[in-house]
Amino acid sequence: MSNDIAVRIGRNIASARKAQQRTQADVAEAVGVDTVSLSRIERGVVTAGIPTLDKIADELGVPLGRLFDGASANSSALADNIIAQLEPLKDADRLFLVEQFQVWAKKLASKK
C-alpha cells in the first residue's frame, strides 16, 4: 500500500473515531492494539493489516470499506464512496444531491 493510501485510511479511522467522541486509548484497547500503534495507523505512518482494519471498523461500527473511502480513484470505488455519503440522508436530500450531481457532470463533460 502506498503512503498516500495509508494516510487516507488513517484519516478515515480518525474521523470515524472522533465522530463517536472516542479516544485513541479507548478504541485501541477494544481492538487489542496499543495506543501508539493506533496513533501511527491514524497518521498513516504504518499500514494495518486487513484483520486489524476489520477489528477497527467493527469497533467503530462502520463498514470496512468506509475506511478505504478516497483511497482509490477508480469508478467503482468512487461510486461506493458516493453511495456511502448518500445513505444516511433523507430521501429528499438524496434526490436533490443526485440532481445536482447530474447538472454538474453535464457541465463538466461539455468543457472537454
Share of residues in the chain with pLDDT > 70 (%): 87
- Which residue from 74, 59, 50 is spatially nearest to 17, judged by alpha carbons? 59
List, for residues 36-90, the tens digit of each pLDDT value: 999 999 999 999 999 999 999 999 999 998 898 776 556 666 677 677 778 888 9
- pLDDT band for 112, please (50, 70, 90 cuts): low
With a threshold of 0.75, does the pTM exceed it?
no
SS3 content of the chain, % helix, strand, coil (to 5): 70, 0, 30
Report the mean per-residue pLDDT for the chain. 87
- Which residue from 108, 73, 13 is spatially nearest to 24, judged by alpha carbons? 13
The DSSP annotation for 26-72 comes to: HHHHHHTS-HHHHHHHHTTSS---HHHHHHHHHHHT--GGGGGTTS-
